Structure 1
């Protein structure tokens, strides 16, 4: 409810206060709609000065034909939030959804928020990319990774598509990156069989001989964590959510081996995973050591710091292409080792909750064991090669 009201510019401009706010507001009617804003001051004199400048600016834009009535990017973002949460409730992992909101609040809204939707053009998106590439990531000395900015573009596209859906924007602009480097596909950082052996032997030694006595349990957890990850292929975010009740030790009918059946909850919702036999003993050790209750998490801590310390000590932090190895590299190791053992690529994709194309592009393309030497090094019989010229002469003579 309006508490105080003043008219200016022969009644074309209004300055007033409302319940619940100590600041003066101002409003006017231009271009067949009402325009309102806050003066951000509780002084009437300052509010009148602000309102007059604001009104004259709007009228100048109106006369120049640049005063447009359109939704802002921030309004489209609010609509996207409301719809996305309602329509994907329970279908998207909470961490994945939170990533959208984090990218919006930290980066996209501060840059695009006040812009009209028609102002979000390819050139503006390019300006945003340049700005982000010049920023330094907090706690690091490098700019955001290309994959980080790519995720921000995904969120940006979602907001623009929401605007198109509601008719606020005729078409979403192109978000294609200009001057991009070669689209060459590189493999994901992983541990070769020898490197993986070197890693788990190092974690086992650390578990047996920790630097300090009170570090022993953490070192034991890390050793079992490495073995569990490399024998299940779980994503790091998935393994953090696994509770003891999600894991069952079963006798596999097909292989006659004892394995784990795991109910997985991750970015693609609920899925299932069957481990190799190598994951059973680490799981049993963790369960015994922690006396895990059904609702307790199996690996509530990722031990990232100790894992990186061991990688550096073993000179395993980077692969030969200079790619940085992380906890995620254990998932990549599982996929590569299974393919090297001759596992069916479709079954691996299902077990890892990913696509065959993803595996073909980032894993299978660099594994030499997948090349069939018998087909590559095929040779014609020597007797056939001797008779071939004679056959050709007979053909030409005829």
Structure 2
């Protein structure tokens, strides 16, 4: 609390003090509510008017305390800036989630411009409805469900900060809804197109120029195969993957590779399909810094070096463009089912589709493997249900002998 001057005026039996700061023409007031010192500006130059404001404010704060409202109030922008600063500190320290960047962007682009001067305690249902309409105008359309999820999470970060600092009670936090348009079906590769892609990649590499251009194509082939055989996220999880995150182990005479992935969501482990180890070995054999170390000895050293890199160890940010160029050359860019261009992220959706349809993996196991929720799997891949149950629908399971059925499933499950 500021030191009070000699001209301090005491009100309400000493509960409220009205005073002026040095060089200020307007009166200030201070009082204590539930162990919190509150200091306000009355905004008045006239002493009697200032006393009236001070009394009203004191009684208003007493009312807040009596009805379990926060004693200290802050404007939305103030609290949002605190939340942003906290998320940015975590990102700078390498501990923050990648999605924090999206939260910060949403707060700066939409929430702060709209709610900025509103007190955090005054954001009610009516104001949120007005915000929803304003945001749709700014975007030019109704936001999709995925966008709303990100925005709601950003807003929740602000309110978590406000609750932690005592600016608002948990019971007064507004409930945010998500009535956005459901996600559209995502482009992936059919088994036939996937096989075509893998078959054409070696020839496409040979057609490339030497040097870095050829190195990019070699890296792309193994990057594509690893994403398609693990369900790993392009960009976030792949970018963060280091050799120290790769573990190879043997059980019952079979060799497995486990990857520790972290990026958009909380960290999780994923098991690579057969062949993943071979693709990792190829990258290892091309990386100058480690190629002379035995692959398994190198893994035991738990090196903090990026897996997806060029021979000189540099990490490229141009695999997306290289992949698009390859798909155009191979005639595979456009997904015939969705009409959308395929991207590196399509390999994650391809993994999920193959796992559900060809491998018969249940959604619980797939959600764990891909580091996502069961709800997300059900929302985005519910269209696969007829194909997943095709044997039941057609009765083929009962028309074939056990040996014939097993042979058919083995063929269906084959993946290049």
Q: Is the structural similarity TM-score above 0.5?
A: yes
Q: How does 1:234-253 map to 2 (within 5 A)?
A: 234-236=232-234, 237-251=236-250, 253=252
Q: CA RMSD in A?
A: 4.7
Give the Cα separation in 1 of the matches to 2:391 and 2:345: 31
Cα distance between partner residues in 1 of 2:25 and 2:225: 63
Q: Is residue 177 of structure 2 the alignment partner of residue 176 of structure 1?
A: yes
Structure 1 residues 61 and 177, CA, compared in 2 at 3 Å: closer, same or farther?
Answer: farther
Is this contact kept in 1: 2:268–2:371, CA < 8 A?
yes
Aligned residue number for residue 340 of structure 1: 357
Q: State the SS of the aligned residue for 2:259.
A: strand
Distance 2:25 2:257 in 1: 64
| SS at structure 2 position matched to 1:277 | coil
With over 3 angstroms needed to count, the CA separation of the structure-2 counterparts of 1:128 and 1:148, relative to structure 1, is same
Question: 1:27 touches 1:34 (CA, 8 Å); kept in 2?
Answer: no
Tell me what 2:321 maps to: 305
Give me the whole-angstrom Cα distance separating, in 2, the residues matched to 1:207 and 1:25.
77
Distance 2:259 2:226 in 1: 12
2:269 pairs, out of 257, 269, 272, with 272
Q: Is the 8 A contact 2:125 2:174 kept in 1?
A: yes
For 2:174 and 2:387, how far apart are their aligned partners in 1?
Answer: 44
Picking from 120, 123, 126, the partner of 2:126 is 123
**What is the distance in 2 between the residues matched to 1:348 and 1:292?**
35
Match of 1:95 among 81, 95, 98: 98
CA distance in 2, matches of 1:130, 1:196: 43
TM-superposed deviation, 1:220: 1.3
Query: How far off its partner does 1:12 sit?
Result: 7.3
Query: Does structure 1 retain, via aligned residues, the 8 Å contact 2:353–2:384?
Result: no
The corresponding residue for 2:214 is 216
Q: Which whole-Å CA distance do the structure 1 matches of 2:54 and 2:322 have between them?
A: 60
Q: Where do residues 148-163 of structure 1 align in structure 2 (5 Å cutoff)?
A: 148-163=147-162
Q: Secondary structure at the match of 2:213?
A: helix
Aligned match of 1:206: 204
| Higher mean C-alpha displacement, 70-79 vs 332-341 | 70-79
**Structure 2 residue 66 is matched with structure 1 residue 35:** no
Kindly provide the CA deviation profile for residues 39-91 of structure 1, in whole angstroms up to 9, marking residues without a partner as x: xxxxxxxxxxx987xxx99x999999xx9873322344366568889999x99
Residue 197 to residue 368, structure 1, CA distance change in 2 (3 Å): farther
The whole-number CA distance in structure 2 between the counterparts of 1:252 and 1:26 is: 78
Aligned to 1:392: none
Match of 2:117 in 1: 114
Counterpart of 2:74 (choices 45, 66, 71) is 71
Question: What CA distance in whole angstroms lies between the structure 2 residues aligned with 1:25 and 1:193?
Answer: 78
Partner of 2:229: 231
1:290 equivalent to 2:292? Answer no
Deviation at 1:266, TM superposition (A): 3.2
TM-score, structure 1 normalization = 0.67
Do the aligned partners of residues 200 and 292 (structure 1) sit closer, same or farther apart at CA in structure 2, a change above 3 Å counting? farther
Q: Is the 8 A contact 1:126 1:177 kept in 2?
A: no
Match status 1:359 vs 2:377? yes
Distance (whole Å) between structure 1 residues aligned to residue 289 and residue 370 of structure 2: 25
Corresponding residue for 1:383? none
What do residues 257-302 of structure 1 show as CA deviations (whole Å, max 9, x unaligned)?
x442222233444322211113222211111111354221012435
On the 8 A contact 1:91/1:269 being kept in 2, the answer is no
Cα 1:360–1:150 change in 2 (3 A) is closer
Aligned: 1:328 with 2:345: yes
Q: Distance in 2 between matches of 1:370 and 1:14?
A: 76
Q: 1:177 to 1:204 in 2, by over 3 A?
A: same
- Aligned residue-pair number: 343
**Which stretch has the larger CA shift, 359-368 or 27-36?**
27-36
In structure 1, C-alpha distance between the alignment counterparts of 2:194 and 2:134, rounded to whole Å: 39
Q: Is the 8 A contact 1:261 1:275 kept in 2?
A: yes
CA distance in 2, matches of 1:83, 1:264: 24
The change in CA–CA distance for 1:271 and 1:122 in structure 2 (over 3 A counts) is same
Q: CA deviation at 1:116?
A: 0.7
2:272 and 2:178 mapped to 1: Cα distance?
39
